[in-house]
Amino acid sequence: MTADELVYEDGSTQEFRSDGTTTYVEGGRPTAGEWYVDDNGRFCSFWPPSYRGCYELSWVVEAGEFVGVEFRELASGSVFVGRYTQLTPR
Protein backbone atom coordinates (compact mmCIF):
# COMPACT_ATOMS: atom_id res chain seq x y z
CA MET A 1 0.00 0.00 0.00
CA THR A 2 2.77 2.44 0.81
CA ALA A 3 4.80 1.90 -2.40
CA ASP A 4 3.74 5.16 -4.04
CA GLU A 5 0.83 7.54 -4.54
CA LEU A 6 -2.25 6.02 -6.19
CA VAL A 7 -4.16 7.77 -8.98
CA TYR A 8 -7.82 6.79 -9.30
CA GLU A 9 -9.87 6.67 -12.50
CA ASP A 10 -11.53 10.03 -11.68
CA GLY A 11 -8.13 11.75 -11.26
CA SER A 12 -8.17 11.88 -7.47
CA THR A 13 -5.03 10.70 -5.67
CA GLN A 14 -4.23 8.97 -2.40
CA GLU A 15 -1.07 8.36 -0.45
CA PHE A 16 -0.85 5.67 2.23
CA ARG A 17 1.96 6.07 4.77
CA SER A 18 3.50 3.34 6.92
CA ASP A 19 2.40 5.13 10.12
CA GLY A 20 -1.26 4.40 9.26
CA THR A 21 -2.14 7.86 7.94
CA THR A 22 -3.49 8.56 4.48
CA THR A 23 -4.26 11.66 2.43
CA TYR A 24 -6.89 11.66 -0.30
CA VAL A 25 -6.89 14.60 -2.75
CA GLU A 26 -9.91 15.35 -4.91
CA GLY A 27 -10.19 18.54 -6.94
CA GLY A 28 -7.08 19.91 -5.24
CA ARG A 29 -8.61 19.51 -1.75
CA PRO A 30 -6.76 17.17 0.63
CA THR A 31 -8.58 15.09 3.23
CA ALA A 32 -6.65 13.36 6.02
CA GLY A 33 -7.65 9.89 7.22
CA GLU A 34 -6.28 6.70 8.74
CA TRP A 35 -5.91 3.16 7.43
CA TYR A 36 -5.54 -0.06 9.40
CA VAL A 37 -6.10 -3.81 9.35
CA ASP A 38 -8.90 -4.79 11.73
CA ASP A 39 -9.08 -7.82 14.04
CA ASN A 40 -10.56 -9.90 11.19
CA GLY A 41 -7.64 -9.09 8.87
CA ARG A 42 -9.67 -6.67 6.72
CA PHE A 43 -8.21 -3.47 5.29
CA CYS A 44 -10.22 -0.52 6.67
CA SER A 45 -10.12 3.24 6.66
CA PHE A 46 -11.41 5.99 8.92
CA TRP A 47 -12.29 9.47 7.69
CA PRO A 48 -13.18 12.00 10.39
CA PRO A 49 -15.53 12.77 11.78
CA SER A 50 -17.31 9.40 11.52
CA TYR A 51 -16.89 7.42 8.28
CA ARG A 52 -15.41 3.92 8.53
CA GLY A 53 -15.21 1.51 5.63
CA CYS A 54 -13.63 -1.89 5.12
CA TYR A 55 -12.48 -3.23 1.78
CA GLU A 56 -11.47 -6.38 -0.03
CA LEU A 57 -8.20 -5.64 -1.83
CA SER A 58 -6.97 -7.09 -5.11
CA TRP A 59 -3.69 -6.31 -6.79
CA VAL A 60 -3.90 -4.87 -10.30
CA VAL A 61 -1.43 -6.75 -12.49
CA GLU A 62 -0.68 -6.02 -16.14
CA ALA A 63 1.80 -7.96 -18.26
CA GLY A 64 3.01 -9.67 -15.09
CA GLU A 65 3.72 -6.35 -13.34
CA PHE A 66 2.06 -5.05 -10.18
CA VAL A 67 0.63 -1.63 -11.13
CA GLY A 68 -2.05 -0.80 -8.56
CA VAL A 69 -4.78 -1.80 -6.15
CA GLU A 70 -8.51 -2.47 -6.52
CA PHE A 71 -10.64 -1.68 -3.45
CA ARG A 72 -14.09 -3.30 -3.13
CA GLU A 73 -16.06 -1.76 -0.27
CA LEU A 74 -17.60 -4.58 1.76
CA ALA A 75 -20.77 -2.69 2.76
CA SER A 76 -21.78 -1.37 -0.68
CA GLY A 77 -19.76 -3.37 -3.20
CA SER A 78 -18.42 -0.12 -4.72
CA VAL A 79 -15.13 -0.60 -6.55
CA PHE A 80 -12.26 1.89 -6.73
CA VAL A 81 -9.13 1.21 -8.79
CA GLY A 82 -5.91 3.07 -8.09
CA ARG A 83 -2.73 2.89 -10.15
CA TYR A 84 0.66 3.77 -8.71
CA THR A 85 1.96 7.09 -10.07
CA GLN A 86 5.37 5.72 -10.97
CA LEU A 87 3.58 3.65 -13.61
CA THR A 88 0.89 6.18 -14.59
CA PRO A 89 1.60 8.71 -17.36
CA ARG A 90 1.06 12.29 -16.27
Distance set, CA 87 to CA 3, 26, 72 (Å): 11, 20, 22
| pLDDT the model gives residue 86 | 74
| pLDDT the model gives residue 3 | 72
67 within domain boundaries? yes
State the total domains in the chain. Answer: 1
| pLDDT the model gives residue 90 | 41
Range of the domain at 59: 6-87
30 within domain boundaries? yes
Q: Any residues with CB less than 8 A from the CB of 75 and at least 6 apart, and which?
A: 53, 54
Identify the CATH number of the domain in which residue 36 sits. 2.40.128
How confident is the model over 4-43, as pLDDT tens digits? 899 999 999 999 999 999 999 999 999 999 999 999 999 9
How confident is the model over 52-83, as pLDDT tens digits? 999 999 999 999 988 999 999 999 999 999 99
* Cα–Cα distance measured from residue 44 to residue 21, given in angstroms and rounded to the nearest whole number: 12
- pLDDT at 89 exceeding the cut of 60: no
Q: Any residues with CB less than 8 A from the CB of 79 and at least 6 apart, and which?
A: 70, 71, 72, 73
